[in-house]
Amino acid sequence: MVDIAPITIGHTSDVAELDDLSKQMNQLVERADAFVVRDDESRDNAVDYLKSLKAVAKVIEAVTERFRAPAYEYYCKVRDEKKSILAPADKAEAIIKGKLAAYRKECEEVAAALIREELEKRRSAELEAKEAEYRAALEAGETERAVEVAVAMRQEHTPVPNTTDVAIEAGLITETEGVSYREYWYADLESPASLSELVQAVARGDAPLEFLTINKTVVNATVKKQKSAFNYPGLKSWSETKLAVGK
């Protein structure tokens, strides 16, 4: 049973207060444009104005919080209720998808075996033909031709096709309308120690630079702690001065 009671978000007085504050906000920009900081007194006045802006932001935050908090709480209840209601459907979907994927895998394995068998037959026939051509060249005294055939036999390499695509084209695997199968590939480090090998590969140009990313959260936390003492190969540090206004 759905257990979500209706709520009232915001009151008439809250809306009126927010509307009144909204009308006054543009005046803040006009006053900021009018400020001229040319001496210590006007500088201090500007700082006082910045402090008042912080106070304005707190007022707006307090009023909007009367709307946001109950609205977000209600949203969370609806979201959780939806998740609970859909849980059996999600579980059923996972079960059916698992069975379909298993059947598809079975079909692919059977088709792959048939295709490999056919390829082996073709390769054997081609090899026999090449060997016959080689023997014929030798018997005819065509040594140069025999060498060419031998080299071709050694260098010849037939790429292995995508057996799934071939099986679909050959009708060994049939598709169901509205259902598609996607192949996902993943890659990761072989082990933590292999990171150095990847770094060296990037340095040599054997792997793209994009394979290496900086953990900016850790780097920024470290430079914040070490400041000017921060010194690591390949990394640079700098500081920027930004104005902050106290309460």
pLDDT digits (tens, 9 = 90+) for 169-185: 666 677 777 777 777 77
236 phi and psi angles, rounded to 5 deg: -120, 155
Terminus-to-terminus CA distance in the chain, angstroms? 49
What's the confidence (pLDDT) of residue 221?
92
Asked if pLDDT for residue 151 goes beyond 90, the answer is no
pLDDT (average), residues 12-26 = 77
Query: What is the per-residue pLDDT for 156?
Result: 61
| pTM greater than 0.75 | no
Compute the distance between CA of residue 14 and CA of residue 20 in angstroms, rounded to an integer: 10
| pLDDT (average), residues 189-198 | 86
Q: With beta carbons less than 8 A apart as the criterion, state whether 106 and 99 touch.
A: no
| 15-19, 84-88, 155-159, 215-219: the lowest-pLDDT one | 155-159
Q: For residue 98, what is the enclosing H or E element?
A: helix 40-139
- Say how far apart CA 134 and CA 158 lie, in whole Å: 20
Residues 42 and 49: their CA atoms lie apart, in Å, by 10
The answer to which of 82-91, 113-122, 166-175 has the lowest mean pLDDT is 166-175
